[in-house]
Structure 1
Amino acid sequence: MNGVIPLWKPKGMTSHDCVSRIRQIFKTKKVGHTGTLDPDAEGVLPICVGKATKIASLLTLNNKEYEAEISLGQSTTTEDLAGEIVEKKNVDQSFTIDECESVLSGFQGWITQVPPMYSAIRVDGKRLYEYAREGIEVERPSRQVNIYEIKMLSDELTWYNDCDVRFNFKVACSSGTYIRTLCVDIGHKLGYPAHMSRLIRTQAGDFPIDQTVTFEELEQSKAESLISLADVLTLPSYTISPDEEYRFRHGQVLELPEELEDVSTFKVITESNELIAVYQHHPSKVGKMKPYKVF
């Protein structure tokens, strides 16, 4: 079986846990996810099965949408509820939701983030969370991410106590954005330590929340849950005849058709909508195209 499953990841499972369970359901080792969701988060997690694992890197780069809850008044080691509290500050009783909304709007556009210590990014060949577990603080490379939209969802603040004041917001962002870190940075702008207290990924690329399937649904109708490789890739398509299949299946460098001169990367499909390859313009041979991935 080959295709992509728009999985609904439940709270309490790691992304790797989800991969392991799908390996059991589909009885194959060729399974991979397209963008980690923290154990306490839930939501859309596209899973690649079979030959679809070859396009996982393409799907990982897709934009994401989230609904998040931020808690003002406390910061934690992990920047979310799972960590230990490292700083506390009482929130002023006169603090309003309007102040929060004003600060939120300032985060739209390109921003700089420093990834959290508890993350899977590698520094000198070692993942940051490995350093963090050893109590070692290392310099983390900053990154540019794009916040396409950020919008307040709460009408008012929720006061649990003077150092736990929460509100909800929605964000659409580029791949690689840490919502935990975004919450911490929002809190900093508001003048308070903060952490992320809840997260739901509502969309990953072209997979919205209403197209997801649960593990229970997968167990009942696994084949029906798979979306084909040709349908999952939203790249421009180039349909080939049966006579052309051999050259594309073997990844030959070929003449670039005139209709694709303005398209840098495209999917090659058969007349029966089977994905054969992903091709791109040749970097050094004008008028030629070369394979990026062959299936």
Structure 2
Amino acid sequence: MNGFILINKPPGITSFDVVKKVKRLFKEKKVGHMGTLDPRACGLLIIGLGKYVRLEEYILRLPKTYIVEILFGVSSDTYDREAYSFFYEKEKKQIDLRELEDVLKYFIGEIEQTPPPYSAIHIDGERAYNLARKNISINLPKRRVIIYESKILDFNKSMNKALIEFKVSSGTYIRSLVNDIGKKLNIKALVSFLVRTQIGHLSVNQSVSYSKLKETEINNLLLSPIEVLSFPVYQTSKDEEKKILNGNSIESRLFQDGEYVSLINAQNRFIAVGKVIGNTIKPEKVFP
């Protein structure tokens, strides 16, 4: 069984819990998620099955859209409500809408952020969250990410809350972004709710509910790599297919240098991901 399933993950379970359920229900050994969600977060999770699990690196690069509820006036050690310690403002502070709009503009574009202490990043072979639980001080390396868009969907000054939609690059930690927004506003802030609504061109509206997985025929859920990857498609001739499956490049002047392409054969079967180098397409991942 080869393909992808779009699943709407509920809060309270891990991404690996979803993987285990798919393995159990559909009797497939090779299953993996294409980008994790925190246990408290919900929304779109792409699950790969069979040989297409190998396409994870390309799907991870796709931009993502989140809707986050930010609670101002309180922060935590995890930057969200799934916390061990909470920290409150000594005096009641409130922000106004104009302040928030100005700060959000500051974070548009390429920014540098530090991942949360409670994250799945490996530090000397151990997860950062395990070290944090042991009160071991660590310096997490900063990373450059891109905030493409931000939109205020709702703002409640009296409740000190805001609902904001962010479109971001791969690798962006929304919890860190919210923490940094709070610092820029000179007020404590944390994530009180988070939902991922989109990965690339795929929407949570196309997904199946986690609770309904067992009631749904797997064949009705499976998407092909062409449907999931956002690459242009190139149909190969028989001779070109042989070259691609043998790991050899083919000539093409249809695409831009550095672009990725989904390669299909004459029967419209997906056979490879190729990268355009000059006037050639070099296969990177081949599926005989």
TM category (shorter chain) comes to over 0.9
Counterparts of 2:172 and 2:284, CA distance in 1: 26
Partner of 1:134 in structure 2?
134
Amino acid at match of 1:290: K
* Aligned counterpart in structure 2 of residue 290 of structure 1, from 268, 271, 282: 282
Distance 1:52 1:169, change over 3 A: same
The 5 A counterparts of 1:154-173 are 154-159=154-159, 165-173=160-168
State the Cα distance separating 1:35 from its structure 2 match. 1.0
Conserved 8 A contact 1:34-1:48: yes
> Does residue 223 of structure 1 match 2:219?
yes
Partner of 2:245 in structure 1?
249
State the Cα distance separating 1:85 from its structure 2 match. 2.9
Conserved 8 A contact 2:275-2:281: yes
Counterparts of 1:232 and 1:94, CA distance in 2: 43
The 5 A counterparts of 1:76-225 are 76-90=76-90, 92=92, 95-159=95-159, 165-219=160-214, 220-225=216-221
Conserved 8 A contact 2:93-2:187: no
Amino acid at match of 1:136: I
Conserved 8 A contact 2:7-2:44: yes
Query: How big is the alpha-carbon RMSD for the aligned residues of Structure 1 and Structure 2?
Result: 1.9
Conserved 8 A contact 1:277-1:291: yes
Partner of 1:9 in structure 2?
9
Q: Give the match's secondary structure for 1:245.
A: helix
- Among all aligned residue pairs of Structure 1 and Structure 2, give the percentage whose two residues are the same amino acid: 39
* Greater alpha carbon shift after TM alignment, 210-219 vs 17-26: 210-219
* Greater alpha carbon shift after TM alignment, 84-93 vs 234-243: 84-93
The 5 A counterparts of 1:35-46 are 35-46=35-46
* Greater alpha carbon shift after TM alignment, 60-69 vs 94-103: 94-103
Distance 1:273 1:265, change over 3 A: same
State the Cα distance separating 1:260 from its structure 2 match. 4.3
Distance 1:62 1:123, change over 3 A: same
Counterparts of 2:271 and 2:87, CA distance in 1: 54
Amino acid at match of 1:194: A
Q: Give the match's secondary structure for 1:259.
A: coil
Partner of 1:23 in structure 2?
23
Partner of 1:236 in structure 2?
232
Conserved 8 A contact 1:268-1:279: yes
State the Cα distance separating 1:143 from its structure 2 match. 0.7
Q: Give the match's secondary structure for 1:53.
A: helix
* Length, aligned pairs only: 286
Structure-2-length-normalised TM-score: 0.92
Q: Give the match's secondary structure for 1:187.
A: helix
Distance 1:94 1:52, change over 3 A: closer
Q: Give the match's secondary structure for 1:172.
A: strand
Partner of 1:67 in structure 2?
67
Q: Give the match's secondary structure for 2:156.
A: coil
Q: Give the match's secondary structure for 2:139.
A: coil
Conserved 8 A contact 1:117-1:137: no
Conserved 8 A contact 1:65-1:203: yes
Query: Which 4+ runs in 1 deviate beyond 6 A?
Result: none
Post-superposition CA distance 1:213-245 (Å, at most 9, x none)? 113443222111110123222212220134543
Counterparts of 1:114 and 1:46, CA distance in 2: 25
Structure-1-length-normalised TM-score: 0.90
Distance 1:22 1:101, change over 3 A: same
Conserved 8 A contact 2:115-2:176: yes
Distance 1:24 1:132, change over 3 A: same
